[in-house]
Amino acid sequence: MNAGSMRLDLGHVSKSFGGVRAVSDVSFSVAPGEVLGVMGPNGSGKSTLLNLVAGALRPDSGRVRLDGEDITGLAPHRVCARGIARTFQLVRPFMGLSVSDNVRVGHAYGRRPRERTGDGETARLLRLVGLAGKEHLVPAQLTVMDRKRVELARALAARPRLLLLDEFMAGLTPTETEVAMALIRSLQREGLTLILVEHIVWALLDLSHRIVVLSAGEKIADGAPAAVVADPRVVDVYLGSASVA
């Protein structure tokens, strides 16, 4: 994995479905090496936002720029080739393939020198995510946590500089959540730029350098975690009277 530098800029991005505005005039930047957390209630536009960045959806208006290049509306495989990879809220392994072969699929996309796409690189990624020794298993033989590891390794096989994680910790036990957090921190230490969408608020606050909060498709807060959770708009719209401590 070669992190390098990557800056993402969203400018006044909007997306509607059947008259319902899922993302409304959202702008923010992500600096190289930054971990940006995106939080908000269900239906606030978080996953739609990731889809707009990854090329799965084209915005109705606004621009998406990567290191200054306009990538608005590029197909997902072209976005991936420029250094953006993602995991999905619903884990999607290829059930008929082994763990190793699932990861090898990722080598077909993204930024990868040919000499680093062989079995050695696959084995390195499996060690990195904690799947060493499980190379020949199929997804049906894996726990939920291990399936998430497979998806992460497959995303990393594309050698991204920006990684989008959509509720990576959903469905995990508290112990598994701690393991997942340690894994995300290891990616951060390698300099990878990360955007995290997560409903486990305490984990998101702990991992992120900065938090963006969405409500009904609009950005209502953007700043350091401590400042964001103290923002009256966040308390009123997202947290209510509950504490996030």
- Residue 198, in any domain of the structure: yes
Distance between CA atoms of residues 139 and 116, nearest Å:
25
Q: Is residue 245 part of a domain?
A: no
Average pLDDT of the chain to the nearest whole number: 90
Backbone angles phi and psi of 128, in degrees to 5: -60, -40
Q: Please give the model's pTM, rounded to 2 decimal places.
A: 0.91
Tally the domains of the chain. Answer: 1
171-221 pLDDT per residue, tens: 999 999 999 999 999 999 988 999 999 989 999 999 999 999 999 999 999
Does 3 map to a domain?
no
C-alpha span between 127 and 229 (Å, rounded): 36
* 118 or 132: which leads in pLDDT: 132
Identify the pLDDT of residue 241. Answer: 45
pLDDT digits (tens, 9 = 90+) for 107-125: 887 665 454 556 788 999 9
What is the reported pLDDT for 240?
Answer: 63
- CATH number of the domain residue 100 falls in: 3.40.50.300
- Does residue 22 belong to any structural domain of this protein? yes
- The predicted-structure confidence for 51-83, as pLDDT tens digits, reads as follows 999 999 999 999 999 999 999 999 999 999 999
Asked if residue 134 belongs to a domain, the reply is yes
Which distant-in-sequence residues (6+ apart) come within 8 Å of 116 by Cβ?
Answer: 159
43 in a structural domain: yes
CA distance 106 to 154: 5
Residue range 33-59: average pLDDT? 95
* pLDDT tens readout for residues 143-155: 999 999 999 999 9
Selection from 229, 244, 214 nearest residue 38 by Cα: 214
Identify whether 224 is part of a domain.
yes
The parent domain of residue 141 ranges over 8-239
Q: Is 108 left (phi over 0), alpha (psi -120 to 50) or beta?
A: alpha
104: exposed, middle or buried (C-beta count within 10 Å: 0-12, 13-18, 19+)?
buried
Query: With 60 as the cut, is the pLDDT of residue 35 above it?
Result: yes
In a domain, 2, yes or no: no
